[in-house]
Amino acid sequence: MIQFRNRLPILMTVMIILMLFAVSNAIVHAEEARYSFAVVKRYPHDPQAFTQGLVFHDGSLYEGTGLYGRSSLRKVRLEDGVVLDQVLLEQEYFGEGITILGDHIVQLTWRENKGFVYDLETLEKTETFDYAGEGWGLTTDGTYLIMSDGSHVLTYLDSETFQPVRHLEVRGEAGPVRNLNELEYIPGDKGEIFANVWFDDRICRIDPETGTVLGWIDLRDLCEEERALRGGEDVLNGIAYDAANDRLFVTGKLWRNVYEIELELEE
Ligand SMILES: [Ca+2]
């Protein structure tokens, strides 16, 4: 009996731990919302642009493109896809994600560990910085730069020093979401991060506080439309948000169109 009495607190502790684990598991695995979409409008997109970064700012699209010898940073007129201004990267750089913070555009490179800062108005390069690991997507919550590197972890960088200050693991019902690619921070009460996932026809919606997957936007029909137009490695990659007019734009590598879409929650 004495032994049993002594074990009772241990059993209760084990039960409490198991209950807490179940509760935390339920929070992590809260149901993911599913979204379909409707196309509001199609805009022409340069089919030679290997899109790696997409941002909408003050009436224009800004696009970062990749591939060695073809990488660029460009300002594009949405309506007809005309390139209004552009900077070509040197041959040794493979351009990746871009974002706009304050009066500057920031661009990553894939395996060169170099980031570039440009003046927003003139596209003149004003600064070069170093970072560890691969550069894939880039966005900002208005304070920090948020980058992806092809893993399931997003890294927050200080926007002045470009040093990492936080790592956010992205997890959903199916576990870690790897191959996180182009990013777009969508402002709101809590804010959300929209992420392309390499070779996935869906956009992942992420809670920036916890890294939990909030939902998935299924863009398979758009991807199939583009694949029928061309074929090849023209994967979905490129999300831009016009906060002033609440417009969402998506495109892909070498796609023929930029699509303005509206989301529809599936029951
Ligand atoms: Ca983006």
Distance 23 CA to ligand 1 centre (A): 34
Encode pLDDT of 53-89 as tens digits. 999 999 999 999 999 999 999 999 999 999 999 999 9
- On whether both 56 and 186 belong to a single domain, the answer is yes
CA of 232 to the centre of ligand 1 (A): 22
State the residue range of the domain holding 3: 1-30
Q: How far is the CA of 22 from the centre of ligand 1 (A)?
A: 36
Residue 4 and residue 103 in one domain: no
Distance 237 CA to ligand 1 centre (A): 9
Contacts of 168 (CB under 8 A, 6+ apart): 146, 153, 154, 155, 156, 206, 208, 211
Q: Of 124, 125, 146, whose CA–CA distance to 137 is shortest?
A: 146
Tell me: do 238 and 126 sit in the same domain.
Answer: yes
Amino acid identity, position 101: L
Of the listed ranges 23-32, 158-167, 207-216, 223-232, the one predicted with least confidence: 23-32
Mean pLDDT of 27-36: 78
Query: Could you give the C-alpha distances from 108 to 8, 66, 76, 135, 224, in angstroms and in order?
Result: 57, 10, 19, 6, 29
The alpha carbon of 72 and the centre of ligand 1 are apart by a number of angstroms equal to: 15
Residue 125: is its pLDDT beyond 90? yes
Ligand 1: distance of its center to the CA of 75 in Å? Answer: 14
What digits encode the pLDDT tens for the residues 170-202?
999 999 999 999 999 999 999 999 999 999 999
Considering the domain architecture, whether residues 104 and 86 belong to the same structural domain is answered as yes
Rounded to the nearest angstrom, the distance between the alpha carbon of 174 and the centre of ligand 1 is 24
98 CA to centre of ligand 1 in angstroms: 7
- Within this chain, do residues 82 and 192 fall inside the same structural domain, yes or no? yes
If asked whether residues 98 and 17 sit together in one domain, one would say no
Q: Are residues 24 and 96 in the same domain?
A: no
Greater confidence, 2 or 167? 167
Q: Do 122 and 227 belong together in one domain?
A: yes
CA of 97 to the centre of ligand 1 (A): 7
pLDDT score for 28: 47
| Single-letter amino acid, residue 99 | T
Same domain, 12 and 141: no
Q: What is the structure's pLDDT at 211?
A: 98
DSSP-derived 3-state class of residue 223: helix
- Report how far ligand 1's centroid is from the alpha carbon of 1 (Å): 65
Residues 134 and 187 both lie in one domain = yes
The C-alpha angle with vertex 171 and arms to 17 and 161, in degrees rounded to 5, equals 110
For residue 186, the CA-to-ligand 1 centroid distance in Å is 10
Residue 233 banded pLDDT, cuts 50, 70, 90: low
Same domain, 13 and 67: no
**Ligand 1 center from residue 54 Cα (angstroms):** 4
| Number of structural domains found in the chain | 2
